[in-house]
Amino acid sequence: MLDQGCADDVDATNFQCLCACGIPFNVLCSPYWHEMVSTINDALEGYKSSRYDKARTNGLGCEKAKLTHALGKFTNSWNDYGLFIVCDGWKNVKGKPLISVLGVSASGAIFHSSHDYSDKFKTAINIVESVIQTIESIGPCNVIQVITDNASNCKAAGAIIEDRYPNIFWLACLVHTMNLLMHDIIEIKELQYIWIGDLYKRGKRTIKFIADHSNTHGIFHSHSRLELLKLGKTRFASYYLTFRCLLKVRESLASMVSSTHWQVLKDWAPTATDREAFDDVEVTDLHGHFWASVRDVL
C-alpha cells in the first residue's frame, strides 16, 4: 500500500511533467491515462519508459494497426454495399484551407483523409485530383456517390467525376441546398415572405446583443445551461440552427429579461440607444407571436 507522502510525491512529479510539456490537465480524465498508470504499476520492477525513436516508429505503427482494425467494422461492408464519399472544405486553427474526405455507408461515417490547399486554389481540377485519389484508394467499384456543396467549382468537379466514372453519381449537399433556399426566401421582399426575413434579423439581433456583452451574457448563463450560439454566415444550416437555438432557450430568455439583474443592467445603460436595445430584446423574448412564427419556420 502506497503511503500518502509517497503518493503526493508521485502526483507532484506527474503535475510537473504535465506543466513542463504543456499537456492539458483534462488528460487526467481520460481512461487511457488511468489504463497507462495501471499498466505501469503492474509492470515488472525496473521498467523504464520507451525511447522517442521507438515511440515514433514501432509505437506509432502499432497504434495505426489497432485503429485500422477497429475501423474494419465500417470499411468491411464497403465491398458488399458500397459507400458515399463526402467532401467538405474548411480552415484549420492556423487558417490553412483544407478539404476533408469522409466515407459514409450504412455502417456509419468515418474520416478518410484531409488535403492541404495552402499552395493551390480550390479549382474543379484540383478538387477532382483529391477526390480521384480517394476513389482509387477505395476502389471505384465500391463508390456509389460523391457529395460536395453547391459551389460552382464543386459542381464542375462532380461533372468531371461522373464523366470519368459512369457508375459514380455526384450530388449536392442537401443541408447546403436547404440553407441556400432559406437564404433566397429571406431575401424576398414580397409581403407574403418578408416576415421571415424580419423574424430572422430580430432573432439574430437578440443573440448578438446578449452574446457580445459580458454582463448580459453572464445573466443569461445564470438562467440557462445551454449556450447561445453565434453562427457565421458560412455555417451550413445557419438559419435553421439560429431559430432552433432560440426556441431551445426560450424559457431561459424569458426568465432573464424578467429578472432583477436585467432591469438593473438596463437602468445603468449609458445611452438611450443601449436602453432601446434592451427593450428590443425584451419585446422579442416575451412576445408570443414571435415564438409562434419561429415554430412555423422550423
224, 249 Cβ separation under 8 angstroms: yes
Q: For residues 274 and 292, state if they share a domain.
A: yes
More confident residue, 229 or 30: 30
Where does the pLDDT of residue 1 fall: very low under 50, low under 70, confident under 90, or very high at 90 and above? low
- Could you tell me if 61 and 87 lie in one domain? no
pLDDT higher than threshold 60 for residue 234: no
Enter the pTM of the model.
0.66
226: pLDDT strictly greater than 80: yes
Residue of 263, 181, 276, 248 whose CA lies nearest to 216? 263
Could you tell me the CATH number of the domain that includes residue 157?
3.30.420.40
Cα of 55 vs its chain's centroid, Å: 31
Task: State the pLDDT at residue 5.
Answer: 63
Rounded to 10°, the helix 250-257/214-223 angle is: 120
The helix/strand/coil state of 249 is coil
The answer to whether residues 55 and 80 belong to one domain is no
Q: Give pLDDT tens digits for 66-121.
A: 988 998 888 988 988 999 999 988 888 888 888 999 999 998 999 999 999 888 88
pLDDT at 20 (0 to 100): 92
pLDDT at 235: 60
Q: Flag whether 116 is in a domain.
A: yes
Q: Which helix (H) or strand (E) holds 148?
A: strand 143-148
Instruction: Provide the number of structural domains found in the chain.
Output: 3
pLDDT digits (tens, 9 = 90+) for 163-210: 999 999 999 988 888 888 888 888 888 888 899 989 988 998 999 999
**pLDDT class for 40, splitting at 50, 70, 90?**
confident
What does the block give as the cell for 126? 484540383
pLDDT digits (tens, 9 = 90+) for 244-267: 989 999 999 999 999 999 999 888
The pair phi, psi for residue 144, each rounded to 5°, is -95, -40
**Residues 78 and 102 sit within 8 Å (Cβ to Cβ):** no
Residue 2 lies in a domain: no
Residue 189 inside a domain? The answer is yes
Residue 1 lies in a domain: no
Domain hosting residue 222, numbered range = 180-297
What's residue 290's pLDDT? 92
